Structures are given as structure tokens and as C-alpha cells.
Amino acid sequence: MTLGHVLAALSVLLMLRQWGTVAAMELEKPGTNLPWSTSQPGKQRVSAGPPVKRSRRGDFPASETVCPYKVIPHQGRPLPRDVCFRTTDSSFYCDHRLCKVFRSGRTLVANVLPNSNSVLLQWEPPGLARTIKGFYMNCSWNGTFTRFQCDSVQLGTSCRDFLLTNVHDNVKYRICLQTLHTDRTSQEECVEFSVEPVGMQEIVIAMTAVGGSICVMLVIICLLVAYITENLMHPTFTHPSAKRGP
């Protein structure tokens, strides 16, 4: 192995390390970790606790309708008197690289957004729309030994999604949805999900970058040792010159 081969190998390794660093930086850009994505450019979502308010640019598209809802606290909290409003967006798309989807087996879908500790629930009501008078959403989560109830939500007939905020990490939630008709109530449709800890993706990226740097350093050391062993440490044998006669 010559010095030229070692330098060529080092240049290739440095190029690979630089490429990995650039890829990690692209993942860390603020615009790439936003799970909200719609088919119409220029939108911006800002989510907060109930009532949910979203700032956006321009007029509301035709696919968005106003959804009236009312939060019903669990026992031990006073009942609210106000009705809240939010806008629905049927063009929401969940990027599977930054968003995880859980399905109930029918129409209820939970889009888990780990970077914002939020879950967007979407559904399509079965049956005739003219007989629907609203929806009722029940929430609970698993504790160590028992199941706890969280706030329930009563939604209007125009609601097709709901943003659940302030979701705890590593807690298994169960959301059940009932369609309220004028003459009956449908069976519960439930979906279960859990949210990964915030910052886990950043930790994985940092560990990957550190591990890649360590591997590159080890390869460089091995190449240098091989070069030194092959070219510098071998003894030089010289043949003794024959004695000349007188």
C-alpha cells in the first residue's frame, strides 16, 4: 500500500463524512420538521391548546369549514359554558417521515405529530349525512394500574377532524368516536396510540453523526498503521559486496 492509496482512501472517507453532516443539517432545518403539510402552498399552521386557532395567509379555501365544538371536562372540573370554533381542512397530508398514522379499522384515523405533542384525529361518518346531528369523542389513557379519563368533546355536524394537544409522552391513549343521529347513536369507533418523547429524532441524528465520526477516525488510524507497517517498519536487507581479490 502506497501513500497515494492512503491519501485517496482518506479523501473518500472525508467526502462521505461531509455528506452525512450535510444530510443531518438538512433534517435539522426548521422547515423540515413541520408535520403539517397541505396540497396548497403558502399555508402556515399554528396549533395551541383548546380552543384551537390557526393563523394562515389569504382567504379560507373551499375545503375548509367551521367546526363548532364544546369541551366536556372529566369529573372534578367545572363544566364550560362557551362553544369554541375551529376550521377543518380535508386536504391535510401526514408525512410518514415526520408523522405516524394509527387507524381504528374503520374511518377514525389518528395522525400523531411527535414534534408538537399533538394528534390530529380525522374521520368520515357512516350513513346518511342528513340524519347526523353531531359527534361525541371520549378520551382515556392508561396509567400504571388503572385507566384514567380525560376531557371529552362534543362536536357539530360539520366537524371531520379535531386537534388533540398537550399529549403526554409514552402514554397509551384511547380515543372513541360516536356519531349522533337524530334517531339513534352509532357504536363507538376507537383508536389507540402513543407519542414518542419530544427530541428523540434529534438525539438519534446526533448519535448517528458522532458514531460516523468515530468510525471515520478509526478507519483513518487503521490505514495509517497499515501504511507505517508496510513501508517504514520493514528492515532493509543489503547484500554484502563480494571481496575483491588482490
E strands of the chain, at which residues? Answer: 36-38, 66-72, 84-87, 92-94, 100-103, 109-113, 118-122, 132-142, 147-155, 161-164, 173-181, 189-193
Query: Looking at the structure, do residues 60 and 75 belong to the same domain, yes or no?
Result: yes
State how far the Cα of 190 lies from the Cα of 108, in Å rounded to an integer.
7
Query: Looking at the structure, do residues 67 and 184 belong to the same domain, yes or no?
Result: yes
Residue 234, domain member (yes or no):
no
pLDDT (0 to 100) of residue 208: 82
pLDDT (0 to 100) of residue 188: 83
Query: Looking at the structure, do residues 69 and 85 belong to the same domain, yes or no?
Result: yes
Query: Looking at the structure, do residues 80 and 7 belong to the same domain, yes or no?
Result: no
Backbone phi, psi, residue 123, to 5°: -160, 165
User: Domain tally for the chain?
Assistant: 2
Residue 242, domain member (yes or no):
no
State how far the Cα of 121 lies from the Cα of 108, in Å rounded to an integer.
7
Query: Looking at the structure, do residues 98 and 214 belong to the same domain, yes or no?
Result: no
Closest listed residue to residue 174, CA positions, set 187, 154, 191: 191
Residue 37, domain member (yes or no):
no
Query: Looking at the structure, do residues 134 and 147 belong to the same domain, yes or no?
Result: yes
pLDDT (0 to 100) of residue 8: 58
Residue 166, domain member (yes or no):
yes
State how far the Cα of 138 lies from the Cα of 141, in Å rounded to an integer.
11
Residue 112, domain member (yes or no):
yes
pLDDT (0 to 100) of residue 13: 56
Query: Looking at the structure, do residues 78 and 189 belong to the same domain, yes or no?
Result: yes
Query: Looking at the structure, do residues 9 and 114 belong to the same domain, yes or no?
Result: no
Residue 238, domain member (yes or no):
no
AA letter at 179: T
Query: Looking at the structure, do residues 175 and 87 belong to the same domain, yes or no?
Result: yes
Is 122 within 8 Å of 129 (Cβ atoms)?
A: no
Query: Looking at the structure, do residues 87 and 208 belong to the same domain, yes or no?
Result: no
Query: Looking at the structure, do residues 214 and 95 belong to the same domain, yes or no?
Result: no
Q: Is 231 helix (H, G, I), strand (E, B) or coil?
A: helix
State how far the Cα of 58 lies from the Cα of 159, in Å rounded to an integer.
22
Write down the pTM of the prediction. 0.54
Containing structural domain, residue 12: 3-26+201-228
Query: Looking at the structure, do residues 101 and 220 belong to the same domain, yes or no?
Result: no
Is 154 within 8 Å of 83 (Cβ atoms)?
A: no
Residue 59, domain member (yes or no):
yes
pLDDT (0 to 100) of residue 175: 92
Residue by residue, pLDDT tens for the chain (246 residues) are: 555 555 555 565 556 555 444 444 444 443 333 333 333 333 333 333 334 334 343 344 444 588 999 888 876 555 666 788 888 877 788 887 778 889 888 889 999 887 778 899 999 876 666 778 889 999 888 876 777 878 889 999 889 899 888 888 888 899 999 888 877 777 888 999 988 775 555 677 778 888 888 888 888 998 888 888 877 765 555 555 555 555
Residue 244, domain member (yes or no):
no
Is 155 within 8 Å of 199 (Cβ atoms)?
A: no
Q: Which CATH number goes with the domain that contains 114?
A: 2.60.40.10
pLDDT (0 to 100) of residue 176: 92
